[in-house]
Amino acid sequence: MSFKAKIILTISVLMFLSLSIFSMVSYMDTKKNSIIQIENSLKMASRALTDYIDVWSAGKKSGMESSARTLSDIATMDEAEVRAKLQETTKTLGGFDTTVGLETGKAITGTGTPLPAGYDPRVRGWYKAVKASGKVGVTDAYVDATTNKLIVSFMAPIIKNGTFLGAVVMDIALDTLVKATSDVNFNGGYGVLFDTKQVIIAHPNKDLLGKELPSILPELSKKLEGKKDGLIEYTYNNDQKVFAFKVSSETGWTPSITFDKDVAYSFLSAQMKQLILVGFVMLILSIGVMIVLIKALLKPLDNLNGVVQELSSSEGDLRQRLSVASNDEFAQVSRNIRHLAKLK
């Protein structure tokens, strides 16, 4: 292998290693920053969804508290007046129907729908819950027998002079929350909402609505225990996924966003391919330029080689064949050869 070939090969290897290391470091740094950025965006999106649900729930609770206050004099109201106030609450808050239950066991619906014979509000779960807490509350989601839709009930205590008189309850559909959750589109991700019992309220797959999370994703369900917010990685159908969530302070429900890691980070693979392509092109161009420069820089060496060959075999004067136009090492060798030719 010639001296020039050795130089070209050595520099080419060094350039290849340098570009490879540079590309790898750039890729790792970009990957790290991109993952942090995606995760932060994911957290912000899940928190925004939670804030939306909190505002929605707080508005319903406030409306129910207001309704309960207007019914604090229910003992002096006739049934028509009570029904009118209940209808106003239903219309204002967008519910199906509003019902008031009293400590006497009496119940009145806003629509006037007859209640089943022997209906006693005092034994109902919602009534017991609001009586025990003494404050406005919301139930977990359940399927309404009439509409076959997932609904929740907001309830508030009716209190006068510190005495519990009864409670007012309103059934409301979750269509608004389901739509808000379904509208989430995060780089291959989607929104999911489940209640305090981990019953799925909103999900792109309609077949999963009303089902419990532990029966579908026991791994994720277990990791969620005791956590209020954060990011959780889990596996579903052999796909690596990330689950971002923040528990609603108003309802205790869990709005969340889940996405496929391979889809979300697919741009990193494309970036790696781009870095490899750019690095390869730069390497080829650099080697081409380097070959031209080395040939130009080492041209005096070729001349010296020819002169030395002639010097060893010719009897002529070789001084005119050597051009000394610089002060580098080649020029010094040329001067020495000219001096040798003089001696000869």
Q: pLDDT by residue (tens digit) across 134-150?
A: 999 999 888 776 677 78
Could you state, in order of their start, the residue ranges of all structural domains in the chain? 3-22+268-343, 37-50+176-264, 71-173
Q: How many CA atoms lie within 13 A of 312 on its CB side?
A: 5
- 22-31, 177-186, 209-218: which has the highest mean pLDDT? 209-218
| pLDDT of 113 | 85
Q: Which residue has the higher pLDDT, 51 or 320?
A: 51
| pLDDT of 304 | 66
| pLDDT of 184 | 78
- 29-43, 50-64, 187-201: which has the highest mean pLDDT? 50-64
Which pTM does this prediction carry? 0.71
Mean pLDDT of 10-26: 83
Average pLDDT, the chain: 84
Mean pLDDT of 104-117: 90
Answer whether residue 338 shows pLDDT above 80.
no
Cβ-based neighbours of 60, under 8 Å, separated by 6 or more? 93, 138, 154, 170, 172
Answer whether residue 333 shows pLDDT above 90.
no
Cβ pair 127, 101 in contact under 8 A:
yes
3-state secondary structure (DSSP) of residue 164 = strand
Answer whether residue 104 shows pLDDT above 60.
yes
Residue positions counted in the chain: 344
Q: Does domain 71-173 have CATH number 3.40.720.10?
A: no
How deeply is 32 buried, as exposed, middle or buried, from its count of CB atoms within 10 A (0-12, 13-18, 19+)? exposed
Q: Which residue has the higher pLDDT, 299 or 338?
A: 299
Residue 55 pLDDT grade (very low, low, confident, very high; cuts 50, 70, 90): very high
Answer whether residue 323 shows pLDDT above 70.
no
| pLDDT of 206 | 83
- 116-120, 234-238, 315-319: which has the highest mean pLDDT? 116-120
Mean pLDDT of 56-72: 94
| pLDDT of 246 | 93
Mean pLDDT of 320-338: 59
Answer whether residue 343 shows pLDDT above 60.
no
Answer whether residue 327 shows pLDDT above 80.
no
Answer whether residue 84 shows pLDDT above 90.
yes
Residue 106 pLDDT grade (very low, low, confident, very high; cuts 50, 70, 90): very high
Q: Which CATH number fits domain 37-50+176-264: 2.30.40.10, 1.10.10.10, 3.40.50.1370, 3.30.450.20?
A: 3.30.450.20
Answer whether residue 217 shows pLDDT above 60.
yes
Q: Which residue has the higher pLDDT, 211 or 319?
A: 211
Q: Which helix (H) or strand (E) holds 32?
A: helix 3-70
Q: pLDDT by residue (tens digit) across 230-280?
A: 999 898 888 888 899 999 999 999 999 988 887 777 777 777 777 788 878
The Cα-based distances of 322 to 69, 143, 221, 301, 328 in angstroms read: 112, 101, 86, 11, 14
